[in-house]
A and B are shown apart, each in its own frame.
Chain A
Amino acid sequence: MGTKSILAGLALALLFSATSASAQTSKLDEVLARGHLVVGTGSTNAPWHFKSETDQLQGFDIDIAKIVAKGLFDDPEKVEFVLQASDARIPNVVTGKVDITCQFMTVTAARAQQIAVTIPYYREGAGLMLKADSSYADYDALKAAGSGVTIAVLQNVYAEELVRQALPEANVDQYDAQDLIYQALNAGRADAVATDQSSIAWFLVQQPGQYKDGGYGWSPQTYSCAVARGDQEWLNFVNTALHEAMTGVEFNTYAASFKKWFGVDLAPPKIGFPVEFQ
């Protein structure tokens, strides 16, 4: 039995007591009275949540949490980060150890039965990264080469199937660790690596000019924060803070963070008729 299933069982068992306890007053009032936001996140995944060289937490998830804190206290630094493994994301929300979890959580309907998911702040997907001087120009060239190309991918039950969805004939080499797939690419043992689009974007930001994006994304998944079920006011507040970060007054903060971690300039939302209804 894996950690995940143990934790899922715990989470379900504790769901009832936790939801009934928070029914009286909103988490929003509790957080405001406390004076700082308690956010569950990780510390081992760049560019989402990881330690800087000065041992400070940084990343896109961290910036999202700070946007929520700024909405609450007009001060993005009034956040206490609680470190947690990915497996602990849902239990820590359900048991009230944290006010909110922002930790690249993929939204699934099954998870939404245990926690309330906020509006999305990023759409993740798989992508292909090649060396800048690769003989293959992009995704189409790799696909045209058929079984002549080798793709390095992080070992996973679904890894081979994932690559096959994009490149049905390619050879798939699986590696144990993220750094090993990059080494395979550098050593020429693989023609491209298949990994998260965000990882590719972060790699391109860090080592400009050495690599290129294959220009094709697939296998979409939505990243959202999570809060405890049964507190609509708190969920609404977080949704509002995130929504205004992507479309309203905090857009510049969101866009600066997006640029910093993914190297992409976002176009400001169109002024006039709200983009949401177009």
Chain B
Amino acid sequence: MDLAQFFDILWSVRWPILSGIGVTALVSALAIIAGSFVGVFVGLALTYGVLPLRWLARVYTDFIRGTPVLVLVLASFYILGTIGLQLSAFQAGVLALAVFCSSHVGEIVRGALQAIPRGQTEAAKAIGLTFSQTFSYVLMPQAGRQIAPAWVNTAAEIVKASTLLSIIGVAELLLATQEVIARTFMSLPFYFHAGFLYFCINFSIERLGKYVEKKLAIPQS
């Protein structure tokens, strides 16, 4: 394979590939942000919710976590349409990934909260903190240390799962790459290139996670 020829073609398709990266980043970011936000509440419901709520959150997480992302993507694109909620492929994709993300973050948050000794909550109660104060000032800072590494893992999963949106026609990085391959017949170099870009995106998330971990760590003296 002629390397100069590959870079030549790569330069000529820079805009479609860049727009693919943009769509992948946007879909992933929206899904991770929305999924993490909902996920924290799912985790709270799983840990401290009253029984019916805890039971509901349990069914939600188990059902979503036990379903392939592909099925979630197809369901939000096709099934929601038949009950009157017509989502575009982009919206349906973000919804499916966000829901998937929320179930994973929910479990991560539950695990982290349950790892905190009961005495912490009791002490917070004893000095008269409300539940939301207990959560923000006592529990979350401690849980955050547990959450950060697992959250990076989930975020990377979401970025990779975003490739499935090419099925319903979201022009993300994989589809943009396949479009180039269809014209140039250079499958190996361009798939390798796409793989490298996915690695870069996930590596940035990993670095971000490491940074957050460092911020949350107890200062060693």
Give A residues with C-beta under 8 Å from B.
Answer: 3, 6-7, 10, 14, 17-18, 43-46, 50-53, 55, 82-85, 87-88, 91, 95-97, 177-180, 182
Per the CB 8 Å criterion, the residue count for chain B at the interface is 29
* A84 closest partner in B (C-beta): B169
Bound CA span A82–B86, Å: 15
Docked-complex contact B187 and A84, CB < 8 angstroms: no
Docked-complex contact A95 and B78, CB < 8 angstroms: yes
Docked-complex contact B182 and A46, CB < 8 angstroms: yes
Docked-complex contact B187 and A178, CB < 8 angstroms: yes
Known contacts A6-B74, A44-B182; A83/B187 CB under 8 A: no
Q: Which of B79, B89, B168, B179 is A44 in contact with, Cβ under 8 Å?
A: B179
Q: Which of A6, A50, A53, A83 is B71 in contact with, Cβ under 8 Å?
A: A6
Docked-complex contact A91 and B78, CB < 8 angstroms: yes
Cβ of A186 to closest chain B Cβ, rounded Å = 11
A180 to chain B: which residues have CB within 8 Å?
A: 187
Q: Which of B12, B78, B188 is A53 in contact with, Cβ under 8 Å?
A: B12
Known contacts A10-B79, A95-B81, A179-B187; A85/B182 CB under 8 A: no
Docked-complex contact A50 and B182, CB < 8 angstroms: yes
Q: Which of A3, A50, A182 is B70 in contact with, Cβ under 8 Å?
A: A3
Docked-complex contact B179 and A50, CB < 8 angstroms: yes
In the assembled complex, B134 has its CB within 8 A of some CB on chain A: no
Cβ of B6 to closest chain A Cβ, rounded Å = 12
Q: Which of B16, B78, B186 is A51 in contact with, Cβ under 8 Å?
A: B16
For the residues of A in contact with B, the DSSP-based class is: mixed
Bound CA span A96–B188, Å: 36
A88 to chain B: which residues have CB within 8 Å?
A: 167-169
Q: Which of A3, A43, A178 is B167 in contact with, Cβ under 8 Å?
A: A3
Bound CA span A83–B175, Å: 10
Mask of B82-102 contacts with A, CB within 8 angstroms, 1/0: 100000010000000000000
Docked-complex contact B78 and A83, CB < 8 angstroms: no
Cβ of A53 to closest chain B Cβ, rounded Å = 6
Cβ of B176 to closest chain A Cβ, rounded Å = 9
Docked-complex contact B178 and A44, CB < 8 angstroms: yes
* B177 closest partner in A (C-beta): A44
In the assembled complex, B47 has its CB within 8 A of some CB on chain A: no
Bound CA span A131–B70, Å: 42
Bound CA span A85–B179, Å: 12
In the assembled complex, B183 has its CB within 8 A of some CB on chain A: yes
Q: Which of B16, B70, B186 is A6 in contact with, Cβ under 8 Å?
A: B70
**Could you jot down 16 A-B contacts, CB within 8 Å?**
A18-B82, A43-B171, A43-B175, A44-B179, A44-B181, A46-B182, A46-B183, A50-B182, A50-B183, A51-B179, A51-B180, A83-B169, A85-B166, A85-B167, A87-B167, A88-B167
Bound CA span A121–B205, Å: 48
Q: Which of B12, B169, B187 is A177 in contact with, Cβ under 8 Å?
A: B187
In the assembled complex, B15 has its CB within 8 A of some CB on chain A: yes
Docked-complex contact B186 and A179, CB < 8 angstroms: yes
Q: Which of B82, B171, B178 is A17 in contact with, Cβ under 8 Å?
A: B82
In the assembled complex, B7 has its CB within 8 A of some CB on chain A: no
Cβ of B12 to closest chain A Cβ, rounded Å = 6
Docked-complex contact B175 and A44, CB < 8 angstroms: yes
B196 to chain A: which residues have CB within 8 Å?
A: none
